[in-house]
């Protein structure tokens, strides 16, 4: 194997399209000049359809976790009550952020690998009637679950006056998101997943009712103050030094998304998820999630009779193929395959083919080509 050749198929960061890399290599421009103003003016309108909103999408030079913290610190005050849906490591992260700010958290713990239940959420809302917000993870990256955000939002608004705040880091741009129509009050994501960029940008959008809460929130905040970003964005500027190169890349990434069309992007990701899942079904290798709960952007596999870490190691050493392991109590028990952003069905066929060889290398008795054939049939039947 050529050591410089790497095949990155983890659920973030994801590969970068060559044209986006070239865009980020453009000469630096002044972050307070007219060129930057023109860039921000163009970007702010183009981000709205990806979120399914007419509201402004704020741009932060930060990680996705900073976006989660932004949602917490702007919407909720110390001492207030919230419900956090914890279906994996990133729901748990929402809990930790809330607790750090002395917010009273009622956890709705979901078995890892399962989707949150709207009925269970309804029960909690009826039990805790003073909650200020409900936090949920759209795609739980650690388990490969896509939570039923539309249905959860409906329950939140039917049974409470709480804000519904959504972590969309590993699916916005790959999964249909209708923030306004579904009643999502704050939605956040990061640049390094389906948005096809390096890490370093975060995106936050808020509904009108969320903005009312933000305006009246007495919680101190400085760098993560959404009001600063909204006010500066109205002037096509930013309150602090932006990641100029990433913004230049973002313009090109959105151009690629516009060329393909959002509905086509969503279908492509759904297809890749189905190809991946059906391949492992054909190989009789268990998945962590049910097909009805599985995400179109990441698939979690829970082998019963071979080592997930042994497979990851041989794929890395033999082919330069990097897939992700498990997190927290699933560490060593699962492996995760990212198929989002700059990824297409041909990449999925490559992944499955290499995995079959890797499985044979670690003495897992499988029929070569069986998984690939199943993935091929899914592709053909979807055309």
Beta-ladder partners of 135: 84, 165
Measuring CA to CA, how many Å separate 155 from each of 119, 123, 185, 287?
A: 8, 10, 13, 29
Q: Do the strands 57-61 and 145-146 form a parallel or antiparallel pair, or are they unpaired?
A: unpaired
Q: Which helix (H) or strand (E) holds 265?
A: helix 262-282
The reply, when asked if residue 336 is annotated as ligand binding, is: yes
Whether the CB-CB separation of 191 and 57 falls below 8 Å is answered with no
| Rounded-to-integer distance, Cα 356 and Cα 123, Å | 45
User: φ and ψ at 146, to 5 degrees?
Assistant: -105, 110
Q: Which two tokens stand for residue 321?
A: 């193929």
| Rounded-to-integer distance, Cα 4 and Cα 9, Å | 16
Whether the CB-CB separation of 324 and 335 falls below 8 Å is answered with yes
Q: Which two tokens stand for residue 37?
A: 């103003």
Q: What is the CA radius of gyration of the chain?
A: 21
| Rounded-to-integer distance, Cα 315 and Cα 359, Å | 9
Whether the CB-CB separation of 161 and 153 falls below 8 Å is answered with no
Binding-site annotation: residue ranges: 336
Query: Which residues are annotated as part of the binding site for substrate?
Result: 336
């Amino acid at each position: 194997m050529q050591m410089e050749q790497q095949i990155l198929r983890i659920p973030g960061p994801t590969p970068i399209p060559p044209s986006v890399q070239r865009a980020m290599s453009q000469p630096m421009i002044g972050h307070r000049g007219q060129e930057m103003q023109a860039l921000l003016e163009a970007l702010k309108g183009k981000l709205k359809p990806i979120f399914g909103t007419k509201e402004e999408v704020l741009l932060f030079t930060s990680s996705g976790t900073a976006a989660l913290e932004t949602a917490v610190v702007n919407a909720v005050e110390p001492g207030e009550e919230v419900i956090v849906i914890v279906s994996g490591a990133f729901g748990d992260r929402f809990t930790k952020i809330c607790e750090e700010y002395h917010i009273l958290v009622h956890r709705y713990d979901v078995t890892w690998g399962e989707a949150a239940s709207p009925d269970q959420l309804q029960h909690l809302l009826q039990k805790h009637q003073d909650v200020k917000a409900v936090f949920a993870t759209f795609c739980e990256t650690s388990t490969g679950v896509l939570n039923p955000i539309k249905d959860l939002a409906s329950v939140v608004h039917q049974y409470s006056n709480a804000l519904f705040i959504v972590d969309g880091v590993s699916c916005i741009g790959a999964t249909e998101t209708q923030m306004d129509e579904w009643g999502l009050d704050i939605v956040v994501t990061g640049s390094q997943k389906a948005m096809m960029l390096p890490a370093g940008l975060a995106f936050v959008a808020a509904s009108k009712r969320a903005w009312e809460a933000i305006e009246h929130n007495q919680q101190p905040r400085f760098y993560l103050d959404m009001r600063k970003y909204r006010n500066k964005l109205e002037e096509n500027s930013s309150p602090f030094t932006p990641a100029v190169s990433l913004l230049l890349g973002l313009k090109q990434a959105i151009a690629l998304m516009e060329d393909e069309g959002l509905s086509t992007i969503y279908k492509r990701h759904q297809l890749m998820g189905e190809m991946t899942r059906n391949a492992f079904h054909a190989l009789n290798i268990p998945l962590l999630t049910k097909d009805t709960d599985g995400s179109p952007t990441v698939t979690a596999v829970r082998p019963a009779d071979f080592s997930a870490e042994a497979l990851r190691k041989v794929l890395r050493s033999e082919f330069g193929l990097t897939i992700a392991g498990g997190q927290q109590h699933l560490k060593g028990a699962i492996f995760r395959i990212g198929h989002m952003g700059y990824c297409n069905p041909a990449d999925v066929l490559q992944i499955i083919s290499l995995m079959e060889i890797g499985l044979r290398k670690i003495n897992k008795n499988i029929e070569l080509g069986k998984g690939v054939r199943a993935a091929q049939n899914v592709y053909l039947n979807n055309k």
